[in-house]
Structure 1
């Protein structure tokens, strides 16, 4: 039995792509990022890539398992740091800067933000220290390849976690190809990365390579 909501999203995707042409680069890929400053031996973390499949857009949000591991590390550090002392220093208490307009008038041209409170500074210092300590010793977290498909009104989205290297556009095509084959049911992550896990040992072994 067909799902009316999914059918409607499919129609919306085709209509959106028909009326909003996508500027694709070589190989028919949407490449939103530049690799001009990425070193050939740099560790990969995350990237995005898009392509057209069956007349509809696909946008892939790719992350390397080390990125998922790092996110889990930061989340643990945030939990251990305690409650954040809310201090809206970016928008409240800012000092307006004026510029003269004529002889007797002036207008606001910018704002100078006040410094964060002492409590905020102490919190961020505590958080940074915890992140550095947890990064040095590692945390018990295993990350496996995964994918999750999302139907949007303008595209099909794919959250993809896979141990690939992406340091240039040529390597990005590997992400796009894998995503395409997954969506078409031509392969599975278990087949591509059998028994793969990113672990505490993986994180610690890369310590010298991380910035």
Structure 2
């Protein structure tokens, strides 16, 4: 049985690609970031890359498992820090700044935000301390490679978690190649990274490299 919604998204993707040319670099890749200041021995966290597959765009949102692990640390720290004392200091209590318009009129051109409340500052200091403590100790969390395909009106999206390092365009091309083969069904993450698991021991072993 045909899935009319998926067929419609496929048509929209081809139409969008036809009417909005994509500026692709060497190797036919869309590379949104510069690596000019990235050290070649640096740890990688996340990146994006795009390419064309079957006359449709593919956008890959890649994360290293250590990024997922760090997110888990931040989430646990927020849970343990307790409820945030709500303080809308960005908009409430802001002081308007005026500029003269003519002799007798003036108009607002900007706002000066008031400082956060003492409760807000104390909360964020506590939260930061919690994150630092959990990061130093590590948490019980296992991260395995994963992928999730999304059909968008302008492209096929792929959320990809894989233990690769991306510090230049050549290494980014490896991410694109893996994503392409996963979408085509010519490989699996289990085949590529058999029994891989990023865990507390891995996180602690990289502590010096994260400094």
Does the TM-score normalized on the shorter chain lie above 0.5? yes
Q: Distance in 1 between matches of 2:22 and 2:93?
A: 43
Q: Distance in 2 between matches of 1:40 and 1:122?
A: 38
Give a deviation string over 1:135-192, Cα, whole Å, max 9, x none.
Answer: 0000000100000001111110000000001011111000000000000011111111
Give the total of aligned pairs.
Answer: 211
Please, what is the CA RMSD of the aligned residues? 0.9
Deviation for aligned residue 1:84: 1.0
User: Normalised by the size of structure 2, how large is the TM-score?
Assistant: 0.98
User: Normalised by the size of structure 1, how large is the TM-score?
Assistant: 0.98
- Within-5 A mapping of 1:10-89: 10-89=10-89
Q: Distance in 2 between matches of 1:169 and 1:91?
A: 41
Give a deviation string over 1:13-46, Cα, whole Å, max 9, x none.
Answer: 1111111111111111111111111111110000
Q: Distance in 2 between matches of 1:199 and 1:130?
A: 19
Give a deviation string over 1:91-135, Cα, whole Å, max 9, x none.
Answer: 111111112223222222211100011111111011001000000
Unaligned runs of at least 5 residues, structure 1: none
Aligned to 1:136: 136
Greater shift after overlay, 93-102 or 47-56?
93-102
Aligned to 1:122: 122
- Confirm whether residue 175 of structure 1 aligns to residue 170 of structure 2: no
Unaligned runs of at least 5 residues, structure 2: none
Deviating beyond 4 angstroms after TM superposition, the runs of 4 or more aligned structure 1 residues are none
- Within-5 A mapping of 1:104-119: 104-119=104-119
Greater shift after overlay, 197-206 or 15-24?
15-24
